[in-house]
Amino acid sequence: MAKIKFSGPFRLRMSSFFTLCRIALATYTRHALGKRREPGWDVNSDIGIRFWRHQFTRAMAQTDMGKGRAIFESVMTETDDIYQVSVEKSANPKGRWYRPRALASKATLLYFHGGGYTFNGPVSERFAAMLAHHAQAAVFMPHYRLTPEHPHPAQAEDALAAWRFVAQQTPAKRIVVIGDSAGGHMALMLLQALKAEGLSQPGLCIGLCPWTDIGARGESLHGNDRYDLVQGWMALQFGQWLDPEGRYGRTKLSPIDYNYDGLAPLYLQSGGHEILHDMICAFAELQAAKGARVMLDVWKHMPHNFQAYDSLTQASSEALDRIRLAVAAQCDANAPLQPTGATIVDAGQSERARP
């Protein structure tokens, strides 16, 4: 954790900061004694996972989610990577443009932030800037409505509105729909909405640690709790907030229960230590069997949303470079994305995309 940024009420800032210090001291002690949770993690990665798990837990325990978000945002930790991007606000739809100074791609990334559909804030803005910098492409991040105040279909409606906005300015084949965690869920569900509306598909859909089933699926959902910043019970709670009355149901709201054959090609990334790992693998394998063009890369020792570590870990740097290559392959006529040692599913993605 190279940088610490504060926001919100002073009391919350101090409370979160002291929590971070306590977790850091305990983690440094464990590492000094050789008691590492994962041998491949350095002490900063371990501290970050423990701290964000604590912040999520504390925030989600609040009856007032406004206060929960204030707790979550009170202390932000980020790498010392510098992103040369300009930021421009959009009023309708509400959101922000992130444009890299080293613009090299013709693609426009429509980025849906993670946070279980419940959280947003500086961490999402940092992620958007990171994507724009590494992909060398313009990024639009809509500020979609959040749960539990706004359950489904609010997010689906906002995703479609954001698509129409970006598609007015960029040909569909040069739009990359990308999302992390719940944002990955949003990106995948948007493809189905575009199909239902008879609209063009994007050139590519990228899911970074995407939430592919809003219900309980796979041993990793709880089995990886000890390694991850997000816990299995949290994913299930986010699903409850998305559909609080069970009006739509798990099948209708889970990408894994849809067919992606004939839709935009899919490039997915997962950490082997994240709670969503099993459902991401199951989604990729099922879609490949149905004929979809899908590639899944897995970094086996990494947690959820590990891409945010950027230069702090080799896996994160590799993942971000793979995103750049995937975007360039689909939107800039570069060489097709080829499988690597991290690739566990490759169904048509390493071939030149069909028109």
CA separation for the pair 235, 214 (Å, rounded)? 7
Strand partners for 86: 99
Which residue, chain included where needed, has tokens 């940088």? 3
CB crowding 252-287: b at 16 or more within 10 Å, else e = ebbbbebebeebbbbbbbbbbbbbbbbbbbebbebb
What is the predicted pLDDT for the residue at 350? 59
Question: CB count, 10 Å around CB of 154?
Answer: 16
* φ, ψ for residue 299, nearest 5 deg: -105, 105
Question: CB count, 10 Å around CB of 244?
Answer: 12
Amino acid found at 96? R
Cα–Cα distances in Å, from 155 out to 158, 170, 176, 263?
5, 22, 18, 21
CATH of 85-347, one of 3.40.50.1820, 3.10.20.30, 3.40.50.720, 3.30.565.10: 3.40.50.1820
Structure tokens at 51: 């701290």
**Residue 68 host element (H or E):** helix 65-73
Torsion angle of the four alpha carbons 147, 153, 158, 163, in this order, in degrees rounded to the nearest 10: 140
Domain with CATH 3.40.50.1820 in the chain: 85-347
Strand residue runs (E) in the chain: 3-6, 75-78, 85-91, 94-100, 108-112, 138-142, 175-180, 204-208, 266-271, 294-299, 343-347
Cβ-based burial of 162 (10 A; exposed 0-12, middle 13-18, buried ≥19): buried
Per-residue model confidence as pLDDT tens for the chain (355 residues):
568 999 999 999 999 999 999 999 999 999 999 999 898 899 989 999 999 999 999 999 999 999 999 999 999 999 999 999 999 999 999 999 999 999 999 999 999 999 999 999 999 999 999 999 999 999 999 999 999 999 999 999 999 999 999 999 999 999 999 999 999 999 999 999 999 999 999 999 999 999 999 999 999 999 999 999 999 999 999 999 999 999 999 999 999 999 999 999 999 999 999 999 999 999 999 999 999 999 999 999 999 999 999 999 999 999 999 999 999 999 998 899 999 999 999 998 655 443 3
Global confidence as pTM? 0.97
What is the predicted pLDDT for the residue at 2? 67
How much is the CA Rg of the chain, to the nearest whole Å?
A: 19
What is the predicted pLDDT for the residue at 353? 42
CA separation for the pair 78, 252 (Å, rounded)? 36
* Distant-in-sequence contacts of 34-39, Cβ < 8 A, 24+ apart: 37/226, 37/227, 38/227, 38/273, 38/301
In the chain, how long is the greatest CA-to-CA distance? Answer: 59
Contact between residue 230 and residue 197 where contact means Cβ atoms under 8 Å apart = no
What is the predicted pLDDT for the residue at 351? 57
Question: CB count, 10 Å around CB of 84?
Answer: 11
Q: Half-sphere exposure of 85 toward its Cβ, with a 13 Å CA cutoff?
A: 27
